[in-house]
Amino acid sequence: MKFSVSAVAACAALLPSVSGTIFYAGVAESSGEFGVWSATATPGTGLPGRFGVDYSFISNSGIDTMVDKNKVNLFRVAFLLERMAPLSYGLGAKFNETHYNYYKQSIDYITKTKGAYAILDPHNYMRYNDPSSQPFSGSVIGNTTDKTAATTAQFGAFWGELAKRFASNEKVIFGLMNEPHDVPSSLYLANLQAAVDAIRKSGAKNLIIAPGNSWSGGHAWTQGGNEATGNWLHKLVDPLNNTAVDIHEYLDKDFSGGHIACEQDPVTNLAGVTAWLKEHKLKAFVTEFGGSNTTACATMLNSMLDYMSQNEEYIGWTAWAAGPFWGTASPCCTDSAQYGSFEPGSKAAGGGPSLYDTVWLPVIQKKVPAKLQWSGLATINGGALTSKPSHY
């Protein structure tokens, strides 16, 4: 069949994009939110907690392996709002300076010593004041009928202060909130807008990533009627247009990341959010995804990583999860079996290979692009792509 030039162009426009670029790739560092969980939901459990005993942020040697050997350039580092802004101060611009300094040392190690990018991750589910039974405990930020709840303005003040402190570090990315859920979408958006306004008022030009509501699930983006994230998040205004979207997507039957079996095809499940991103000319990071060491999970992880690299809406990702405090426990996808984590050197219970050995190295590592951004401000348009420079 012979096509006219214009017919070829028209057909090409209908084909799915295969021109995507990943600028930022790596792993979530989970351990900073540890040490508070209490089966009896005892408020105050583990607060402030002992750094290096109850919780930690990164292990420098783990970061070294990930950057030097694995050539990743992005880490998402969890912390708790209740430790950074203690309950006795309230959520806002007054920080626990001791705690802040521990966190800053980790972010500086990643960004300045190793030259990678770091996402600041308040791991709080849009809640503040009782993390003891996360993800459900604590007052929803901005809930005006709950007299114990922090206000939307306080959330803004917190982010304004944190942004001011990291504004001079262009490798720092502001992740506004981990997995808001069971929050009315009007309030969810108002909280995010207060944070963006305060960040820009502080003078910081850093990339911001704004989470979806409903646990940030990509598959759920257009579900939930009027409350669907897709009806709200594009209304978030960033005067600098340097805000991307933060999506989570697990592959097990209920999208929780709790189960071994991968049964939810990511290409099908991300189609709706991808179309929404395209419609609103937005870019996205997937900052949580993962799978167990089954062959079905390897297949789905491969198709998910290929999908992100082929669709230009996706510019970065962090897999869930590494972190110095997991030990033989698993952050993802094992039906509670102790298969270890993505922390380099970690082991499964009994000393067998960890998820780092059985999932990260043979599957995810193979999809880390050879060239990533290694210098300059993180932006929604990415930056110059290079191999890892040798001076880091």
Ligand X SMILES: *[C@@H]1O[C@H](CO)[C@@H](O)[C@H](O)[C@H]1NC(C)=O
Catalytic residues: 179, 288
Q: Considering the rule CB under 6 A, would residue 336 count as an interface residue with ligand X?
A: no
Closest CA to 51 of 37, 35, 63, 67: 35
- Cβ proximity to ligand X: between 67 and 77 the closer is 77
How long, in residues, is the chain? 392
Closest CA to 245 of 271, 269, 213, 290: 213
The CB-of-10 to ligand X minimum distance in angstroms stands at 22
The encoded tokens of residue 83 equal: 């430790």
Under 8 Å between Cβ of 210 and 196: yes
Residue 288 backbone dihedrals phi, psi, to 5 degrees: -145, 125
In this chain, which stretch among 31-39, 94-102, 105-113, 155-163 interacts with ligand X, using CB under 6 A? 94-102
From the CB of residue 145, how many other CB atoms can be counted at a distance below 10 Å?
6
Under 8 Å between Cβ of 334 and 342: no
The CB-of-366 to ligand X minimum distance in angstroms stands at 17
For residue 169, what are the contacts with CB-CB under 8 A and spacing of at least 6? 107, 108, 111, 112, 206
Under 8 Å between Cβ of 294 and 260: yes
Q: Considering the rule CB under 6 A, would residue 19 count as an interface residue with ligand X?
A: no
What is the footprint of ligand X within residues 63-92 (CB under 6 A)?
86, 88
What is the footprint of ligand X within residues 274-293 (CB under 6 A)?
281, 293
Number of amino acids touching ligand X (CB under 6 A): 23
- Residue for token pair 């304004």: 160
From the CB of residue 3, how many other CB atoms can be counted at a distance below 10 Å?
10
**Residue selected from 203, 239, 345, 352 as contacting ligand X according to rule CB under 6 A:** 352
In this chain, which stretch among 37-45, 61-69, 114-122, 143-151 interacts with ligand X, using CB under 6 A? 143-151
Per-residue binder mask for ligand X (CB under 6 A), 220-259, x = binder: ---------------------x------------------
- Cβ proximity to ligand X: between 40 and 145 the closer is 145
Q: Considering the rule CB under 6 A, would residue 353 count as an interface residue with ligand X?
A: yes
From the CB of residue 312, how many other CB atoms can be counted at a distance below 10 Å?
16
The CB-of-310 to ligand X minimum distance in angstroms stands at 19
Identity of residue 229: T
The CB-of-114 to ligand X minimum distance in angstroms stands at 25
Q: Considering the rule CB under 6 A, would residue 99 count as an interface residue with ligand X?
A: yes
In this chain, which stretch among 115-123, 137-145, 157-165, 262-270 interacts with ligand X, using CB under 6 A? 137-145
CA-CA distance, 291 to 297, in Å (whole number)?
5
Q: Considering the rule CB under 6 A, would residue 381 count as an interface residue with ligand X?
A: yes
Q: Considering the rule CB under 6 A, would residue 152 count as an interface residue with ligand X?
A: no
**Separation of CA 244 from chain center:** 12
Angle at 352 between CA 347 and CA 353, to 5 degrees: 65
The CB-of-293 to ligand X minimum distance in angstroms stands at 4
The CB-of-305 to ligand X minimum distance in angstroms stands at 19
CA-CA distance, 116 to 74, in Å (whole number)?
6
The CB-of-392 to ligand X minimum distance in angstroms stands at 28
Q: Considering the rule CB under 6 A, would residue 213 count as an interface residue with ligand X?
A: no
Query: By the criterion CB under 6 A, which residues form the site for ligand X?
Result: 48, 51, 86, 88, 96, 98-99, 140, 143, 145-146, 183, 241, 281, 293-294, 339, 348, 352-353, 358, 380-381
